[in-house]
Homo-oligomer: A and B are copies of this chain.
Amino acid sequence: MFNDMHKSAGVAYPQGFTAAGVRAGIKKSGNLDVAVIYTEKTAAVAGVFTQNQVAAAPVRVSKIVADTGTAHAIVANAGCANACTGEQGLRDAEKMADIAAKELGCRQDDVIVASTGVIGVALPMDKMEAGIKSAVKELSREGSVNAGNAIITTDTYSKACATEVEIGGKEVRFGAIAKGSGMIMPNMATMLCFITTDADIERKLLQEALSEITEVTFNMLTVDGDTSTNDMVIVLANGAAENPKITSKNADYEKFYATLKEMCTELAKRIAADGEGASKFLTINVHGAETFADAKKIGMAIANSLLVKTAFFGEDPNWGRVICAVGYSGVRISPEKTIIKYGGIPVYAHSVGVKFDENEIKKVMTAHDITIDIELGLGDFDATVWTCDTSFQYVKINADYTT
């Protein structure tokens, strides 16, 4: 479903979308740092935004745009978060939208703006203006790779994918670019993710689908437990596929929903796997909780335990740290009923460790992808949380990341 061709097509895979990424000199590295995504045909827009009270200026501006229900463009930069920048920051975020709107020939409130990078530094607006102008000139159906690279920070690669589904006899396409890496924790504070689709769907349903799906995809991943000030998931749906407009929760909606969910799941997993300094991708399945919230809370307690994450970095099957995290998660559990498995192999059951084959466990622990199952035996609710290990590299990246 998510092959390489699709990946490079990205956000420009759906009909009617173009994209570009350029070097504006905002990143110290000189890498691509300004992205524009555009649809001439008006798109329904849905968004989910950080819950951090110290929301950055672009978040505050884009919420207003999302509330209008429609948009034509997304303009985003990396290298500077435009967060904690006060009134000047708000004016700069509005100016980003204004510059793009003028170049594209749309209204300022048709432009979603996003920034990521260092907090507390003002955007260099001269560079930004030149960057946006040059990005708009470069907009093309081949521009998604550059756009994707322009929004990454400490990510080791751009997360991108694309796919299609048949709805009402029409091919409906989806594309996405996303960035993650550090300051990654649920409640949509997590990253930037821009999704395009040529589906024709009512705005209210689009927002409902995105909000629901975010809860079980992006909000189930954590890298370091930190909730950033900047991040957002945006979907633009421009209707260019000419499917019968989705206006109720019918079979077409179900198909749309399933495809969007599959895409968000894939991106969430990739963001976790590419967490700062990650050498392991960890999938934590919590089974048999009394509620989904309980299952998630336990999964997150494990996923955010530094002791668990450093043990996986060390390839050490130290399940004591996992049951310890389960025990302090805040969810009432029964140690006697609890079972923990690493790669399907029981390591703890009913209050005590289980003898396991050292070689079998070694195979599990030395692999890149590791699954941890926690069976609580208390109820019918499950949750899956994705994370990565914590390595020397994480500390290095974050001790050196410049202010």
A residues near B, CB below 8 A?
A: 51-55, 81, 83-86, 88-89, 118-121, 182-183, 185, 187, 189, 224-229, 304-307, 310-311, 313-314, 316-321, 323-328, 332-333, 335, 348, 350-353, 390-392, 394-396, 398-403
Contact = CB atoms under 8 A, between A and B. Distances in A.
A52 to B, nearest CB: 4
Contacts of A335: 53-54, 84
A398 B324 contact: no
Contacts of A399: 310-311, 313-314, 316
5 contacts: A182-B307, A183-B324, A225-B225, A226-B307, A227-B328
Contacts of A307: 182-183, 224, 226, 398
A120, A228, A324, A401 interface centre (most CB from chain B within 10 Å): A324
A342 to B, nearest CB: 12
A83 to B, nearest CB: 7
A373 to B, nearest CB: 17
A326 B89 CA distance: 19
B403 A352 contact: no
9 tightest CB-CB pairs across the interface, nearest first? A119-B320, A314-B399, A54-B327, A310-B398, A227-B328, A86-B352, A120-B353, A52-B327, A318-B403
Nearest to A352: B86
A328 B307 CA distance: 22
Contacts of A228: 324
Contacts of A187: 328
A192 to B, nearest CB: 16
Given A119-B318, A225-B304, 4 more contacts: A83-B320, A314-B400, A316-B402, A392-B392
B120 A84 contact: no
A226 B54 contact: no
A400 B310 CA distance: 9
B323 A54 contact: yes
A54 B350 CA distance: 11
Nearest to A317: B403
A85 B328 contact: no
Contact of A328 (B53, B324, B327): B53
A400 B228 CA distance: 31
A333 B55 CA distance: 12
Interface centre among A327, A394, A396 (most CB of B within 10 A): A327
A318 B226 contact: no
Contact of A226 (B84, B328, B353): B328
Given A86-B352, A306-B306, A335-B53, A226 B321 contact: yes
Given A323-B54, A395-B390, A401 B318 contact: yes
Nearest to A327: B54
A395 B391 contact: yes
Contacts of A353: 84-85, 120-121
A3 to B, nearest CB: 35
B225 A306 contact: yes
